[in-house]
Amino acid sequence: MQQIIILIHCKDQKGIIAAVTNFILKIEGNIIYIDQHVDVEQDVFFMRLECELTNKTVSLAAVKNDFQQTIATDFKMSWELYLKEQKPRMALFVSKYDHCLFDILGRFSAGELNIEIPLIISNHEDLKPVAARFKIPFFYIPFTKENKEDGEKQQIELLQKHTIDFVVLARYMQIITPKMIGLYENKIINIHHSFLPAFPGAKPYHSAFKRGVKIIGATSHYVTQELDEGPIIEQDITRVSHVNSIEDFIMKGRDLERIVLARAIKLHAERKTMVYSNKTVVFS
Amino acid sequence: MQQIIILIHCKDQKGIIAAVTNFILKIEGNIIYIDQHVDVEQDVFFMRLECELTNKTVSLAAVKNDFQQTIATDFKMSWELYLKEQKPRMALFVSKYDHCLFDILGRFSAGELNIEIPLIISNHEDLKPVAARFKIPFFYIPFTKENKEDGEKQQIELLQKHTIDFVVLARYMQIITPKMIGLYENKIINIHHSFLPAFPGAKPYHSAFKRGVKIIGATSHYVTQELDEGPIIEQDITRVSHVNSIEDFIMKGRDLERIVLARAIKLHAERKTMVYSNKTVVFS
Amino acid sequence: MQQIIILIHCKDQKGIIAAVTNFILKIEGNIIYIDQHVDVEQDVFFMRLECELTNKTVSLAAVKNDFQQTIATDFKMSWELYLKEQKPRMALFVSKYDHCLFDILGRFSAGELNIEIPLIISNHEDLKPVAARFKIPFFYIPFTKENKEDGEKQQIELLQKHTIDFVVLARYMQIITPKMIGLYENKIINIHHSFLPAFPGAKPYHSAFKRGVKIIGATSHYVTQELDEGPIIEQDITRVSHVNSIEDFIMKGRDLERIVLARAIKLHAERKTMVYSNKTVVFS
Amino acid sequence: MQQIIILIHCKDQKGIIAAVTNFILKIEGNIIYIDQHVDVEQDVFFMRLECELTNKTVSLAAVKNDFQQTIATDFKMSWELYLKEQKPRMALFVSKYDHCLFDILGRFSAGELNIEIPLIISNHEDLKPVAARFKIPFFYIPFTKENKEDGEKQQIELLQKHTIDFVVLARYMQIITPKMIGLYENKIINIHHSFLPAFPGAKPYHSAFKRGVKIIGATSHYVTQELDEGPIIEQDITRVSHVNSIEDFIMKGRDLERIVLARAIKLHAERKTMVYSNKTVVFS
């Protein structure tokens, strides 16, 4: 039996839920999960729906066409439909830090992530052995400030060649250019090692230590042109105190980075996130 | 404009959401909030819905009747409909501990709880001045083991006379009898000072201290005949360590008790909880 | 038996702990609690010590004098000695928000805080009835932008007349002037309704909502001349999601504000905080 | 310069701290870290101390001998002294679950754990490739109920041959016999997938799901003869709700198990834990 995921957003209007659920009834779908959200301020409606198509003679193309012709047109919806069994293809970008990479590849190997990882790209060779250990192709694309454009061109070619669906910056220490951001809008996930909007930019643990905070955090977000200002997917924190040195902050932070990035990857891979107004709706 | 809350549960079936949302459309209701849950194991469907009735000529009695005659009958639903503006009436049972009482009355005075508190009942006189301070009628009903039945009879008469909707045991140190539990099924909320099912019964902080746990908790639950085994509404925890004495456990626990009980009261008062199979569905 | 608390800080040097503990032995003190901290970066030593004086013929004045003449001079210490039984005297400053006030007075009435509260000061009359309910003298000192200096003069006179040890701003919506800050350095505690340094200044919940954070927080800190930049005493957070409105943020935040401010008051009242380099050492 | 760690416990007495710190002064040690704890109920004193020996001509054997002859004898101390640079040797026991194994080996490879891992032992062959990937010797020791004694004999021989200091059961699904527990008292660390003492024994996630708890947890503890009743080293929790299936509990629990076990390993490896009365003192 085919399982599909539908994501919808549109202006909030009377009767949307009735229309959608009537449509599912019509195509003999069995709703497994449905959740919706209304942004009252901005008057936007969001829905995520999972259903099984019990009638095997129904073609997916026909369902899509029917949906577009009827409801989607009536309510002026933006919508996406995914086959649940189809794994999204993720590229990992890394530099020298290996803790997030080990964590992601460990989870991947343990079967926790419903994704494919066709490649890892890095501007350094340091983590090539880690990639080798997990048998993931590793592409070393060095660049300097002067030829960064060339480097990125090669990166994009690789992403396109491998039909990558989304990119994860696993402590990748380079700024992504507007060109690539434009190609992968709301499809590049970064992990920032602070509780944003506190301590954006470089060396957040050092700033947190200096400020004497009692809690540190990590934030995963979609990359936008404004550094560390993209839509937040997930955040978490841990307590610190005066007994903790900067090294302790960094060590405790590594666990936060691992967990928060892993959760964001899982949410994105399961199509549970929707972006609007530089925020996310994150369905359960 | 009238705002109503509808709670529904029934066997899971195709088309329930479509039917309910079509019904709301028909009565010109504007859905403000809708959430649903399916217990896949037990095949039960739950829904909570808030809507505004935009057509002022529609009578509530007619809506109820219509709903019962059509959808509720078709799907064999159990359901309840509340007017949002109608505040539930809560009775407080206390003994000698005052921290939860102060917290609840403080929140009530600060306008945080959409309830009425017609009375406080106690088997001790100690907290009478607190009740007086907040101008809530206080009924002192003393009893001994021998005449506990008499005491409870008086309690029930008071509850009925004041048309109480639900009862909160704010560190009330007496067992509730099956008779009263039967009259107020899933309407008596207790706060237990441990992370249930760990440390049920008496002196949980002492047991937690002896066991050397690193985290202590509190649990609010509906009272059933099995002591500390009723459906859990809310739980929370706090960290402890070897430096903490039993007195520290108790002091830290007071904050947990306050917060966890206050959350449970708020959830119940806003009709966000549903009970089945000795568990709760807690809508957001 | 007299119980004393000693707080020490000085340049880190070999032999401090040995010297202090030898001194306690000499005066026949029984150490109940001792903790120390070294700020390695800045080379500063901190200690907090509680002890019982088992020899009743020992006078406190003699102990103080002896300590100053010997160890304190040798190690060039800054130090303070408190009698544990002597309750610090706290003034509350409020405006119109009542939730922190109810919480503090509830805790105070329940015997949780080892302090005296000789007075509440406000620039509005709204919370006078709350003060009356808890039988705390309430002083209404109104002022406008033009005569703020006059108002503060009256406040300071009241604080001095009542020999106030520390001041708590329980959601007091006015800036404290440098003059008062100078008189009560590291003795004025504020509660800010965000996870500092994120969202300083006005309307942090609105800013947090707009930014789409997944966690909100509250911060208690000592007041310095830089707004919301004083030494942080305590912070805590709670999760939020896209389903939460600004009103939900504010409601959830109230619980954070209550708890975080109450913890800060307790820590300060028990002489567990020390300030340096715009940070706090918070002993357990 | 040599760095040493000293752990002490003995009956609480006046003058211990003075004596120990005087001793460190005498051997020209520079205290980097010192913390102590008194269990008031049981009248036991605990201390952990890190210091640098600034005088290079001082021999460690002489220090040990001196300490034993003087202070340790005077105060009837139990004590241990470790060289900080000497990495403890850890054996991993696994069965079929790989998530904790991946996490530990990932952390080990990333340099987070100051240990050596000379071997992995398993009663199944499933995880051999994971061990190979990280180049750790893997010993497959199968056994049935009938020949379990034989199996354990082989395990113990391996542990002794490789001079193993402590053993970590990374979701090892077998009961450890009293014989091995006796040989490695307070040196075998288990991870239990519940918030002990709630849900001991088999299938805790299933029990937690059935009970309808709102929070699940994990507990790392030293193994004793009473199943899941050994001294607790670390615990942590995560929130769940009615929307979570048993599969969700298990998935969320995996992250708890990883983190809680990793923290316990780190604490033990850094000699920060002390055991008494079936509890732990965990120094910061």
> B145 pLDDT band (50/70/90 cuts)?
confident
Query: Is C145's pLDDT higher than 90?
Result: no
pLDDT bracket for residue C186 (50, 70, 90): very high
What's the rounded Cα separation, in Å, for the pair D40 and C32?
A: 9
Chain D contact for C3, CB < 8 A?
A: no
Tell me if D259 and A255 make a contact (CB, 8 A cut-off): yes
Segment B59-118, tens digit of pLDDT:
899 999 999 999 999 999 999 999 999 999 999 999 999 999 999 999 999 999 999 999
Query: Number of Cβ pairs closer than 8 Å across A and C?
Result: 77
Task: Give the Cα separation of D134 and D116 in Å (integer).
Answer: 13
CA nearest to C106 within chain B:
B102
Q: Do C279 and A242 touch (CB under 8 A)?
A: yes
Reference B143, options B160, B131, B155; nearest CA is B155
Q: A191, A242, A283: best mutation site toward chain C, by most C Cβ within 10 Å?
A: A242
B241 touches chain D (CB under 8 A): yes
Residue D266 C-alpha from the chain's centroid: 8
Q: How far is A245 from chain C (nearest CA, A)?
A: 9
Cβ separation of A34 and B30 shorter than 8 Å? no
User: What pLDDT band is residue A145 in, cutting at 50, 70 and 90?
Assistant: confident
Whether the CB of B254 is below 8 Å from some CB of chain C: the reply is yes
Gap from D253 CA to chain A (nearest CA, Å): 12
* Whether the Cβ atoms of residue D156 and residue D141 lie closer than 8 Å to each other: no
Give domain limits for chain A.
Answer: 2-83, 89-282
Interchain contact D18–C (C-beta under 8 A)? yes
Contact D255 A243 (CB under 8 A): no
Distance from CA of D37 to the nearest CA of C (A): 8
Q: Which of B228, B236, B248, B255 is catalytic?
A: B228
Fold observed for domain B2-83: Alpha-Beta Plaits (3.30.70)
Query: Using CA atoms, how far apart are residues D275 and D223, in angstroms rounded to an integer?
Result: 12
Residue-wise pLDDT tens digits, D88-147: 999 999 999 999 999 999 999 999 999 999 999 999 999 999 999 999 999 999 998 888
Does D227 reach chain A within 8 Å, measured CB to CB? no
Pick from A109, A241, A262: CB nearest D102: A109
Most confident of B148-152, C52-56, D237-241: D237-241
Structure confidence at residue C17 (pLDDT): 95
Q: How far is C163 from chain D (nearest CA, A)?
A: 36
ipTM of the prediction: 0.95
Of B14, B31, B36, the CB nearest to A30: B14
How many other CB atoms are found less than 10 A from the CB of residue C179?
11
Query: Which residues of chain C lie closer than 8 angstroms to D30, CB-CB?
Result: 14
B214 inside 8 A of chain D by CB: yes
**Chain B contact for C242 (CB, 8 A cutoff):** no
pLDDT at residue C58 above 90? no
The single residue listed with the structure tokens 């919806």 is: A77
A99 near D CB under 8 A: yes
Subunits with 3+ Cβ pairs within 8 Å of C are: A, B, D
At D226, the amino acid letter reads: E
Contact assignment for A21 to B24 by CB distance below 8 Å:
no
Report DSSP state, residue C97.
-
Q: Does C236 touch chain B (CB under 8 A)?
A: no
Partners for B (CB, 8 Å, 3+ pairs)? A, C, D
Report yes or no: B118 and B164 within 8 Å, Cβ to Cβ.
yes
The whole-angstrom separation of Cα A153 and Cα A272 is 30
* CA quadruple D92, D95, D99, D102: dihedral sign: positive
Structure token digits, residue B4: 């109503």
Quote the pLDDT of residue C55. 87
Which of C17, C31, C32 has the CB atom closest to D21's CB atom? C17
pLDDT at D232: 98
DSSP state of D83: E
Question: Would you state the pLDDT for residue B274?
Answer: 98
Which of A14, A23, A33, A48 to probe by mutation at the B interface, max B CB count within 10 Å?
A: A14
> What share of chain A in percent tops pLDDT 70?
100
Least CA distance to D106: which residue of chain A? A102
Q: Could C21 and D25 be called an inter-chain contact, meaning their C-beta atoms sit closer than 8 Å? A: no
Beta carbons of B11 and B43 less than 8 angstroms apart: yes
**Nearest-neighbour CA in chain B from D212: distance (Å):** 5
Among candidate residues B165, B183, B249, the one with its CA nearest the CA of residue B213: B249
Q: Answer yes or no: do C242 and A199 touch at CB < 8 A.
A: no
Strands (E), A136-265: 138-140, 166-169, 188-192, 215-222, 232-239
Q: What is the nearest CA distance from D206 to chain B, expressed in angstroms?
A: 12
pLDDT tens readout for residues D156-167: 999 999 999 999
**Chain D residues with CB inside 8 Å of A241's CB?**
284
Residue D150: predicted pLDDT: 92
Chain C positions touching A237 (Cβ under 8 A) are: 215, 237
Closest to C163 (Cα-Cα) out of C116, C111, C101, C109: C116
pLDDT at B56 over 90: no
Residues near D123 by beta carbon (within 8 Å), at least 6 away in sequence: D95, D140, D141, D142, D143, D151, D172, D174
Nearest C-alpha neighbor of C260 from the set A239, B152, B209, D262 = A239
Res B1: pLDDT:
80
> Contacts by B99-102 with C-beta closer than 8 Å and gap 24+?
B99/B171, B99/B254, B99/B257, B99/B258, B99/C106, B99/C107, B99/C110, B99/C112, B100/B170, B100/B171, B100/B191, B100/B257, B100/B258, B100/B261, B101/B127, B101/B130, B101/B170, B101/B171, B102/B130, B102/C106, B102/C107, B102/C109, B102/C110
pLDDT at position B205, please? 97
Q: Where are the beta strands (DSSP E) in chain C?
A: 2-11, 29-39, 44-53, 78-83, 89-94, 116-122, 138-140, 166-169, 188-192, 215-222, 232-239, 273-276, 279-282
The answer to whether C9 and C48 are in contact (CB under 8 A) is no
Count the alpha carbons within 13 Å of D88 in the hemisphere toward its beta carbon. 18
Pick the catalytic residue from C228, C236, C248, C255.
Answer: C228
The pLDDT value given to residue D118:
98
Q: Is the CB of residue B235 less than 8 Å away from at least one CB of chain D?
A: yes
B110 vs C102, C133, C134: nearest CB: C102
**From the list C25, C30, C36, which residue is nearest D34 (CB)?**
C36
| The pLDDT of residue B120 is above 90 | yes
The pLDDT tens digits of the residues spanning B228-277 come to 999 999 999 999 999 999 999 999 999 999 999 999 999 999 999 999 99
Task: Please tell me the predicted confidence (pLDDT) of residue A237.
Answer: 98
Nearest CA among A53, A89, A47, A55 for reference residue A71: A47
The CATH number that domain B89-282 falls under is 3.40.50.170
For residue B240, which residues of chain D lie inside 8 Å, CB to CB?
none
Interface mutation vs chain D, best among B242, B247, B283, most D CBs within 10 Å: B242
Cβ contact D54:D29 at 8 Å: yes
CB contact under 8 A, C211 and A232: yes
Set A43, A126, A228, A248: catalytic member: A228
> What confidence score (pLDDT) does residue D78 get?
97
Q: Which of C14, C31, C32 sits opposite D17 (nearest CB)?
A: C31
Q: For residue A212, give the nearest of C37, C195, C232 by CB distance.
A: C232
User: Given CB atoms, is B262 within the 8 Å cutoff of chain C?
Assistant: yes
Same fold: A2-83 with A89-282: no
Spell out the per-residue pLDDT of chain D, length 284, in tens.
Answer: 899 999 999 999 999 999 999 999 999 999 999 999 999 989 999 999 999 998 888 889 999 999 999 999 999 999 999 999 999 999 999 999 999 999 999 999 999 999 999 999 999 999 999 999 999 999 999 998 888 889 999 999 999 999 999 999 999 999 999 999 999 999 999 999 999 999 999 999 999 999 999 999 999 999 999 999 999 999 999 999 999 999 999 999 999 999 999 999 999 999 999 999 999 999 99
Contact D130 A107 (CB under 8 A): no
B-C contacts (CB, under 8 Å): 44
CA distances from D152 to C128, D93, D101 (A): 74, 12, 21
Please tell me if residue A29 touches chain C, with a CB cutoff of 8 Å: no
- Taking an 8 Å cut-off on Cβ atoms, the answer to whether B231 and D212 are in contact is yes
Q: Is B236 among the catalytic positions?
A: no
The percentage of residues in chain C with a pLDDT greater than 70, rounded to a whole number, is 100
